[in-house]
Homo-oligomer: A and B are copies of this chain.
Amino acid sequence: MKIAVLPGDGIGPEIVAEAIKILEVLRAEGISLELDVAPVGGAAVDQTGDPLPPSTLTLCEQADAVLFGAIGGPRYDTLPREQRPERGLLRLRKAMDLFANLRPAQVFPELVAASTLRPEVVSGLDILIVRELTGDIYFGEPRGIRTNGAGEREGFNTMVYSESEIRRVAHWGFQAAMRRQRRLCSVDKMNVLECTQLWRDVVTEIAPEYPEVTLSHMLVDNAAMQLVRHPRQFDVIVTGNLFGDILSDEASMLTGSIGMLPSASLNARGQGLYEPIHGSAPDIAGQGKANPLAQILSVAMMFRYSLHRSDLAERIEEAVRSVLAQGIRTADIAQAGEGIVSTGQMGDAVATAL
């Protein structure tokens, strides 16, 4: 099993190092894993001037899975658009056709107190957001900044979805719902945007193929409210790239432990990119404060979705659960009075539990 490892920027390298500890434990058991490390994001800009160098892209395309850390930092914010770290990630998603982005928002029983929501509202929360990742206004053309008829600057982008783009990610939503509580909520803004009217139409057309799934539709503004009002009403949410970006970040913050949440981005060939939901946190980089659990849980998702070893995914998830049950906490998930471990100590604890 070939894994491309892209640590990236900020806390990326530190937390990826802990994920590699987990992979080493499995390798010592005889699991065959080939790891190849390559630069991406700001680190790649520093080395090559390009946030996604051709050699990194080739490595990813030839791998079974990509383990991705995090990218970005204030140093890179003033670069021209094509050199900004996030362009590397966007181009990688598009080049590998990673259209299905799975983002779980889950509250761990031991960490209910970390949420800003009342415990009775969020305990047991377990939402899966299926976000389309290679279409929508993220990639739509035409786009840019031009001079309009009045001689003023005018910025413009194009939101666009074809029915096949909607259909393939909608199937992912229905199939994920089949493996869970069988409730799928499709989010759009059909009352204003024709593009998302088509979204609703296509999702509705597919529904009869999944008679066991209860499908509902919700407008994006209402969804942003309902996530705060009563988040447990949701099982699986499927939505477009832009709305998914906003709602999945909102949902992950409801859990109070964004340092715990992994994500997967998959293509039709089963290749996937696995990364934490959180960012590169430049403010704490290099200090041993980062929580590596989202990165480690991303490894679990990688075994489940790309490497066809759900047994290993479950072992890793179980190891994380047992470490939490032992009361081991990095700073971000510790309550007042709880002892705090470093990034490396947390990784060691999970490796030991495994």
A164 beta carbon closer than 8 Å to chain B: yes
A117 beta carbon closer than 8 Å to chain B: yes
A246 beta carbon closer than 8 Å to chain B: yes
Copies of this protein chain in the complex: 2
Please report the total number of A residues contacting B with Cβ < 8 Å.
62
> B155 touching A194 by the CB < 8 A rule?
yes
Q: Which residues of B contact A164 (CB under 8 A)?
A: 150, 152
> A198 touching B155 by the CB < 8 A rule?
yes
Q: Which residues of B contact A249 (CB under 8 A)?
A: 221-222, 224-225
> B196 touching A224 by the CB < 8 A rule?
no
Q: Which residues of B contact A90 (CB under 8 A)?
A: 192
Give Cα A138 to B245, complex, Å: 19
Give Cα A81 to B193, complex, Å: 10
B-contacting residues, A201-250, CB 8 Å = 202, 220-222, 224-230, 242-243, 245-250
> B253 touching A229 by the CB < 8 A rule?
yes
Give Cα A228 to B86, complex, Å: 24
> B195 touching A157 by the CB < 8 A rule?
yes
**Minimum distance in angstroms from A284 CB to a CB of chain B:** 16
Nearest-CB residue, chain B, relative to A119: B118
Besides A117-B228, A152-B164, A155-B195, 17 other CB < 8 A contacts?
A90-B192, A116-B117, A116-B228, A118-B118, A143-B193, A145-B197, A154-B162, A156-B158, A156-B159, A156-B160, A158-B158, A189-B242, A221-B246, A222-B249, A224-B246, A228-B228, A229-B253
Mark A residues whose CB is within 8 Å of B.
81, 84, 86, 90, 116-118, 121, 137-138, 140, 143-145, 148, 150, 152-164, 189, 191-199, 202, 220-222, 224-230, 242-243, 245-250, 252-254, 258
